[in-house]
Structure 1
Amino acid sequence: MTHAFGKTLLSLATALVLGTGAATCAQAQQELRFTTSVPANSFIYADILSVWAERVTADSEGTLTIRLFPAGTLGRDASAHLDMVRNGIVDLAYFIPGYTPGAMTEATIVELPNMVPSATIGSVAATRMVEEGLWTGQGMESVKILGMFSTAPTLLTTRGPVASLEDVANLNLRGAGPTLLASIEAIGATPVGGLTAPQIAEALSRGLLDGTINEWVALTIFGISQTAQNHLNVNMGASAIMVAINRATYDALPAAAQAAIDRHSGEAFARLWGETFDARIEAFRSAAEQEPGRNFTTLSEAEQARWDERFQTVIDGWIAETPNGQALYDSFRAAVAEAAN
């Protein structure tokens, strides 16, 4: 064998090994499909979900890539996204458990009025409830919870001004989940459920709704604030939001992919969500305050006491109707206080 021929064989062998390795890596990299209801131009998609997916992908040692689908591209009905990930139609989903009653009953505690002071505090506290096994939900065995979040506190936004319980009586108000709906009923209004966030603006413009319970992010990104411009600064509760992966999909992933997902989920994901969400709440609210024609109202001390008395009936009802309700309430209150320090 000549020296040149030997070098040629060596080069061919090296190329074969490298090519085989590259092919193996390409085969090993798995794409996960992640469905969301939020539009691609929203900060939730661009600054939270996409950032999380990029961090996981970068940390997965080349074993994983995550492809996000915005605005219900894989399924227009946001209330079906939990079932889509449960059934393996998609690999990951961003969803609101309030759209699927019973899925995460314990998480409805974040909907209680005056319970959650900010998205960050609420999300960290909620995550600890999941990690401590206190929030398990029903029918959730087929998924692994990666993110358990709270929005910032909601406020009451209406087509006409509201400054008292008398003003809100009999108005048709939309709420995202059973506890928010109970709060609406407690203040003497008519609760309207079954509407997802993208449907609210149209319902308001058609006069099917008089108002809605949302925070500034939803009011802004779903165009709600363009159809209702009266805002009452009262903490009506928050909304729980989740990200989950199909458990069978997760279990089949390489160890490096699982480790990357785990490192960036849980409290790390909760803080990414909460801190970004709170910053945007402040930006959206500040911008809205500069717009002409908007009416911002804060209840008088005496009127706030009247609302709080009504709200207490909702809290008492939640405790009574929820299995182990008092213990769950006490645990979450403690987790909120701890997260706030």
Structure 2
Amino acid sequence: MNTRNIFVGGLVASTFALSASLVDAREMSLATYLPASSSFVTGLVEPWAAWINEHANGEFSVQVFAGGTLGRDPNQQDRIVSSGIADMAVIVPGRNLGAYPHYAIFELPGFARSADEGSYAAWQMHLDGTLETGDDLKVLAVWTTDPYIVHTASPLHDIAGIEGLRLRVLGQTQTESVLALGGVPQAVSITETPEAISRGTLDGSLADWAVFDIFHIGEVATNSYTLPMGVLAMSVAMNSNSYDELSPEGQAVLAEAGEVWQAMVIDFYAGERGRIIAEYTANGQVITEASDEAIETLLEATGELAGAARASVGDAVMDAYIARLNEHRAQQN
């Protein structure tokens, strides 16, 4: 037998097998409505996709479609996944509480006091099955933003000073929270908020540090009071059919990717928070830290809101949230 022919034949077969593997590799889309130039995309989403691609062993790859390329409406991001327009997307579960009924608890004021502890609680509750997802999506990662705090044009030194202030809010929970403190909630578009503050038709806005920076709220609201008025839970969700098409090894890569995301998102928020605070304080931003007593006052004032949430999600979910927050705080001490 001609050994040269055997070698050449084997080489050709291997080449065809490799080519078939490359052709068969599935390209999966990861959508976000956030701009491609945003730090969230460049500093978090794209590096995470690159980690997956590095570890997927050629079975599949993830391509990021930012800026609303596959769907611009923030309220419809889960729909573009369930319909198959995108394989994965960054979604805000609180915008569709019918499918994510338990996620409203994260917006309660006075509970999560940082992205670190909010994200820890949300991820652990997801892993142990506490957080209910009513639609047919595979959740790959869950985290929270930093708390929404109070940014005002005039100095605000304590919780009592919120009374009478016209504050821009997002959603029903923030509306009721501001009302409970004697404030006047205003449902103004975030893009119109800086101008409204500048004109004097708003006294300030609730916003986390990222929103504060992206929409230039600090240019007109030069005082920040760190009263934790709730966090916003976010998730990376995947089409269940796309997930089922993967091999057990591919699914294992995505499971590990969820843990990788948790570490990356904490580092991301810490870096962004530090940068934003440093830049704005250098330009005169005054930051007043809310005392433990102020947070207790906040919890008392919004007790009915928390009670309604407990009645809606059940004792097990609410108690699990509190337990996970306390667990994280104990780990930090």
TM-score range, shorter chain: 0.7 to 0.9
Q: C-alpha separation between the residues in 2 aligned to 1:149 and 1:273?
A: 8
Partner of 2:302: 311
CA deviation vs aligned residue, 1:314-334 (integer Å, no higher than 9, x gap): 2223223x131x332211111
| Alignment equivalent of 1:220, drawn from 210, 213, 220 | 213
Q: Tell me the SS of whatever aligns to 1:147.
A: strand
**2:138 counterpart residue number:** 144
Q: Aligned pair 1:258/2:257, yes or no?
A: no
What is the deviation of 1:246?
0.6
1:330 has 2:324 as partner: no
Instruction: Tell me, yes or no, if structure 1 residue 202 matches structure 2 residue 212.
Output: no
Contact 1:124 1:271 in 2 (8 A): no
Structure 2: segments with no counterpart, 5+ residues: none
Give, in whole Å, the separation in 1 of the partners of 2:169 and 2:7.
69
Distance 1:225 1:98, change over 3 A: farther
Is residue 187 from structure 1 mapped to residue 187 from structure 2 by the alignment? no
Cα offset for 1:81? Answer: 0.6
- The reply to whether residue 69 of structure 1 matches residue 65 of structure 2 is yes
Whole-angstrom distance in 1 between the partners of 2:149 and 2:297: 16
User: How far 1:75 sits from its partner (Å)?
Assistant: 1.6
Deviation digits for residues 85-107 of structure 1, max 9, x if unmatched? 12211110101122223332212
- Is 1:248 equivalent to 2:248 in the alignment? no
Equivalence for 2:90: 94
1:45 to 35, 41, 44: 41
Alpha-carbon separation, structure 2, partners of 1:50 and 1:42? 11
Secondary structure (helix, strand or coil) at the match of 1:137 reads coil
3-state SS of paired residue (2:133):
coil
Matches of 2:302 and 2:248 in 1, distance apart?
47
Unmatched 5+ residue regions in structure 1?
A: none
Paired-residue identity, %:
25
What's the counterpart of residue 174 of structure 1? 169
For 1:86 and 1:240, the matched residues in 2 are separated by: 19
What secondary structure sits across from 2:173 in the alignment?
helix
2:165–2:203 CA contact under 8 A, matched in 1:
no
Secondary structure at the counterpart of residue 302 of structure 2: helix
Q: Which amino acid aligns with 2:92?
A: I
How many pairs does the alignment contain?
326
Q: Which of 10, 14, 27 does residue 18 from structure 1 map onto?
A: 14
SS in 2 for 1:328: helix
Q: Distance in 1 between matches of 2:108 and 2:212?
A: 19
Tell me which residue corresponds to 2:149.
155
TM-fit CA distance, 1:210? 4.5
**CA shift at 1:33, angstroms?**
0.8
Name 1:78's counterpart in structure 2: 74
Whole-Å separation in 1 of the counterparts to 2:290 and 2:64: 42
TM-score (norm 2): 0.87
- Corresponding position of 2:29: 33
C-alpha distance in 2 between matches for 1:39 and 1:301: 37
- Indicate the residue corresponding to 1:106 in structure 2: 102
Q: Higher mean Cα deviation, 100-109 or 231-240?
A: 100-109
Whole-Å separation in 2 of the counterparts to 1:225 and 1:76 = 26
